[in-house]
Every structure is written in structure tokens, then in C-alpha cells.
Structure 1
Amino acid sequence: MNKRSLVNVGGIATVIGAGVVGVGVGTVLAGIARSALRAELAVDDGPDDLLTAPDSAPHRLPVRSSDGTVLNVEIYGSDDAADDDGDVIVMVHGWTCNTAYWYPQINHLASSEGGRRRVVVYDQRGHGLSERGLRRPTIAMLGQDLDAVLEAAVPAGRRAILVGHSMGGMTIMSWAGQYPEKVGSRVSAVVLVSTAAKGVLENHTLVPVDLPAYARPFAPVVAKAFTSMPVPIPKTPYGVRISHYIALGPHARKAHVDFVDEMIGACPPRARAGWGSAMGKLDVTPGLAALSVPTTVVVGTEDRLTPRTHAEQMAEVLRRNGSLRDLVVYQGVGHMTSIEAAERFNEMLDDLVAEVSRAEQRVS
């Protein structure tokens, strides 16, 4: 066979290979879309008052992280120590979200019903009103940003109750791994919500189980493309159905689905892709092991992005270390746990805050 024939054969093989990949990826995408469009419609039972913007505007505190990137930090609740001298609740949102994710908790905790607690939330870099920065996103960077927020927003002599959802939970574990000496002195308790310590792209359940055998090897390709491609998300009725399938439980309220879809769509494509790519290299197990304070792990049974197996693995590590407070599992709830199950989640936070207060009173 001459050289030209070899080139032709190679070219044909490349075309065939690309065609096979295209068919496989297309089949996976079609399977996800089919499952999303066949799922039940969200329950339209009216608005959810907990999702409204808080009545009181926050105090905005620009915080400069270690590399100079400015983060948008918002502080709710009274600044008067006489009103609230307890631990500060610091809440860290997840991938493609922003500070509005925590509205159901802010509206409760900063109210008289929730004890008018001091609540600190911030936009992860590249999300909301925070700068994206010049460096390539890394998981270590998340922990460094949290450290800057804690130093700036938690008054001297007070500790924080850290609550992190999805990438926010990874942020807390990243911080603990880099600053283990600060865990006990700066933090009194931790809540890890719908998150993972490693293998987040390998263990999702977005892909239907009934795919043809030839398409299954292409599922990781689709997962990587889904998380790391910087393309705008089109606003269509079908797009809302996809958001529902991916991020919320099958019986989610329409108000919740619309709120989440709007929030995800507002995330800049470059930030979404950069942080999605960073999570592909996730391993914050040293930080998980460094959590020496009472830690609660929360997950929904219908979470497709960080399924229950992640929560159980994290809980087992914490149990062995003696720092597991509780493993909380919400039936029928998807990835957006503290929105979908806001009332139950807020009750859990109230109990946790009360426990921390009693423990500190005994020590004092």
C-alpha cells in the first residue's frame, strides 16, 4: 500500500471515528433530553414568599482575596452586639448560583422568628457581583476566598457556623484542608449540603440507565462538555424542563424551578465553564478529614448532581473522626436542597444554632 493510500485510509478512519463519537454523544444527550421532557411538570401552587428578596438591604462589604480579586460580601442582621453576640452564620453558595440562593435562609434567620441572626453570604468569584479574577479557577482558590471572607466579616472573638451548598461545601472542605489550624478557633459547626469530597463528575446520575450499550462510554464526555463549555444557555420552555430535571426533585414547585432556572441562566458562561472544569479535578478529602467541629451532612434522595452516595461517604469519614453531628436525608428532594426543603432545612439550622449556643454557654 503506497503512502497516499495510507493517508486516505487514515482520513477515512478519522471520519468514521468522529462519526461514532458524534452518534454516541448525541445518543447520551438525546437520552437526557428525553428523560427531562417526559418528567412530570413542576407543581404550580403559587409563589414562595421565602424566595423574595429580604426586606432589609444588606450591608455590602467588598473583600479582596489573596490574589487581589474583589468578592461581593453581603451581611444581614443586626450590627449591634447587644442584639446578636452569637456565632455568625456564613453561607457559601454553589456552582452557577449567587447570594440569592440563600434567600429562604436569610429571610428566616435574619427575622425575629429566626432570632435576628447575623448572616454573611458572598458571591463566589465569577458569580453574581464578584470579580472573576485573572487566574485559572482552582479548588484551592475557593478555600482561599472563604478565608478572606471569614477574616473580614466575622468579628474578632466570634466564630462562624459554616453552611455550604454543592461547590460551597467543596469550598469549606478546601478551606479546612489549607487552614486546619483555624478550624476549631474560627468555626463552631459546619453544614455540608448536597456536595461531594471527590469524584463529582464520575458519580452523577444525569444519564438515563436505559441507554444503548454503545452510548454508555460517551457519558463522561457529555458530563465534561456540560460542565466546562463556555456557551450561553438559551432561554426556552424546554430549557426550564432541563433545569428541573438536572437540579431539582421530580415533584418540585414551579416557583422553585423558575427561580433556579433564572439564577443558573444569570451565571456568566466563562465562570460556569471555568469552575465546572475545576470541579473535574476535585479531591478535598484532606479537608473533610480536617473538620474537627460538629458537622451535619444534608442530601436529597433525588439529587442527580451529587447523589446520596457522596453524602454517605462523607458521613462515614466524619463518623470515624468523631465529628459527624448528623446525616440528614430529605425524601423526594433534588440538588437544590435548601430551596426545595426550606422549612425543614431552616428548622435544622435553628436546632444547630441552639446546640452551639448551649455548648458555648457551658464552656463560658
Structure 2
Amino acid sequence: MSFKMLQFCKAGVAALALAGGLAASQVSAMADGVVNIYSYRQPFLIQPLLDAFTKETGIKTEVLFLDKGLEDRIAAEGTNSPADVILTVDIGRLVNAKEKGVTQSVEDETVNSEIPAEFRDPEGHWFGVTTRGRVIYASKERVAQDTITYEELADPKWKGKICMRSGQHNYNIALIASMIAHHGEEKTEEWLKGLKANLARKPNGNDRSQAQSIYAGECDLGIGNTYYVGIMLNNDKEPEQKDWANAIKVLFPNSQDRGTHVNISGMAMAKHAPNKDNALALMRFLGSSEAQSIYAETNYEYPVLPGAKVSETVKSFGEIKPDSLPLSEIAKFRKAASEMVDRVALDDGPAS
């Protein structure tokens, strides 16, 4: 039996799915030449990578996709868990998996040589595979400048001109945590108050919504990830999104000093991986130049491997200078960042 491509999106069936899935999962885990992947990334986003891995190694892949509760599921399965490799996005989720005790340390010379130190856990529990910059979407029509800093978002000259999604979203929590890491809590809180005062409306929507709002003239600046611009520019199914993307330019904050904050998509070996050798083979492959180029091309992200190919779409955004502060250091301030968002009532909008 196989658990390939299962989706558990409704909390009401989660318990039943867990009980019924264990026996089937155990059968899959005992199969030769298989690596079982638990993924927060939708299967179609990673399938080109997995196809290339199977072609190169002969090892088959099985994917269990969950939109939430991945760590809890692995913990509940315990030593019987068939999970070999965890794939996810955001430093917060990777650190959460480690903190919940569902990962194991990997000390492998190949993986460590492929993944720069700032994009991996010092204890080997998680590794970045690709990065995405947390950048500023700026109106081509209404914003003349081509450089900006995160600190400048609190400048009163932008009053009523900034759009963003919820401050509690993982992507924004990571950004605010990076500000705390660089400036301390007191200065960051003052900055966050200034950013709040400059908002055009209450934070809402997703990153693409911010580009849509700029296109509609509701704001001049938005905070978003680089890869969403690539998705919009190449969205033939919803061509209106091409208009949103073409209305903005990508500004890489702090390019002239410490660099732009980046987050990661990443991988970890599950604590009780039954196919440990195959899991390590997949992790080595995901860190390779070939895989990084495929991943970056498919998802409009940046490879972590120096020198790996970047897609032409991503190149068109301009040069990114990533902040070199290790993500493991930034992750320490996630809780403080979340509490700060609530303390300044960021999600209540500018008038509160």
C-alpha cells in the first residue's frame, strides 16, 4: 500500500487519517529502494526534483503532503513513522521540527560542503536548499528611487503608502526577528511602530495581494517574497497577475550595507527514518548543483549552492546580496517578534 500524494487539509479527518495511515505507511517504509517524504511543499512544486533523483539513483520517492500538523503527525507515529525526509519552507517550521524532536542530526561531508553554514543548523538538524528574499515591491510609476532599506519603511515620507500581509505570518515574523537580531528589541519596536503608522490599510491578503494593491493604486510599496514575482510574471492561468507584476519593481533592501533578509526552503532527516541511506542520498542530491538549478527554475527561488544556475526570471529582478547573519541566530528571536507584533497592534492597522 502507498500513501503517495495524500492530502490532509481538513482537521475533522486528521485523527482518522492518522490511525488508518499507520499500517499502510509501515508497509511502504519496509520497501527497498524507497525514500518517504513528508512535505509542507505541494507535490507539484517538488516533483521535477524527485523525478530527476529517481532517474539518477533508481530510488523511488513517496510523498505525503500536509498543509499543517506535519511535525505533530511524525511525533504521533513515533518509532513506527515511515518518514525519512522532511521538506518545508520557512526557518520557523524547520526550527519547530527540531524543537519538537522529530528530526535527527546529519553530519555529512557532502551535504555540509554543498550548503553554506549560514543556511544550516549548527547541530545538523536542518539544511536550507533554496532561498527567497523578503523584498520591497515598489510601484514603477510612483516610486522613483531604486534603493531602500528596511529601516526606511518607518520614515514618515511613506505615510499611507505601504501594504503588507499579517505581521504574524511566518515570513514577516522572520523579517522582524532579523531586525531584532541586528538592532535589539527596543529599536526594532520603535521601527515597527513607524512602519505601522505608514500603512495604507490593515495588513491582509498574501504577498501577491500586495502587488495587486500597488497595481490598483492603493499603496506604493509592499513587502513580499521574490518568488511570488516570478509566479505572477509567468501565470498564464490568471493573466491579470502579470499586470500586477509588471506594475512593480523589486527593491532589495540594505543592498549597500548588511544585505537583504532571506528565508529558506529546507530539508531535515526524520528522527526514525527507516530508509536512512536513501534519505541521505536524497539530501545529498537536493544540495547538488543539478537539483538546486531545477528547484530554483521551478519555484523562482535562489539556490544556496554558490554558482548554481539562477532562472532568467529571477535574474531579471536584479542582484541580491543576502544578509549573512545565520538563520539559526535570527530564529532565536521569533517568539520576541511575534509578541512585538501583538504589542504594537500591527495587524489593527495604522489608525489603531
TM class, shorter-length: 0.3 to 0.5
The structure that has the greater radius of gyration is 1
TM-score of the pair, normalised by structure 1: 0.34
TM-score (norm 2): 0.35
Q: Which has the higher contact order (CA 8 A, sep 6+)?
A: 2
